[in-house]
Amino acid sequence: MATVGEVMSTTLLAVEPTMGLVEAAQQMQGRNVGAVLVLSGDRLAGILTERDVLRAVAAGRVEGTDVGAWMTRGPETIGPSDSTGHAASVMIHGGFRHLPVVDDGGTPLGIVSIRDLVRVTLDDQTPRGA
């Protein structure tokens, strides 16, 4: 079974908690990603996902609001040597689609999405040439 480190995205889109929510959403759209890591210095402060942006829109509080007001604080994380199966289990039981990948010291290394995990599963189970 593959490890998280083998399938995670390392070209991170990271923002600060003080960035405007609209600007962060525009960057997410521009990079075609569903989540961004929120860093305070080099430490993971949270994660901002499409769902968080949707909550802000539904509440009617988008303009003039910063990322820190809507991000998920203290998100679940996973290590690069963990199995993709473990990552999938954490996501399914937690009800989310993105996991920050951190080293033993908590430094962000990447992010793994449910799409990354599905891709691995399909590659493992699809007969070659089919």
Beta bridge mates, 46? 38, 73
Residue 103 lies in a domain: yes
Listed in sequence order, the residues at least 6 apart from 52 whose beta carbon sits closer than 8 Å to its beta carbon are 70, 71, 72
Residue at 78 is within a domain: yes
Domain that holds residue 34: 4-125
Indicate whether 74 belongs to any domain.
Answer: yes
Cross-strand partners of 52: none
**Is 18 within the bounds of a domain?**
yes
- End-to-end CA, the chain: 21
User: How many domains does the chain divide into?
Assistant: 1
Instruction: Identify whether 130 is part of a domain.
Output: no
Examine residue 115 and state whether it is found in any structural domain, yes or no. yes
The C-alpha atoms of residue 79 and residue 40 are separated, in whole angstroms, by 20
Low-confidence ranges of the chain (pLDDT < 50): none
Given the DSSP bridges, would you call strands 35-40 and 43-49 parallel, antiparallel or unpaired? antiparallel
Q: What is the CATH number of the domain that holds 18?
A: 3.10.580.10
Q: Residue 42 falls within a domain, yes or no?
A: yes
| pTM for this model (two decimals) | 0.88
For residue 116, tell me if it sits in a domain.
yes
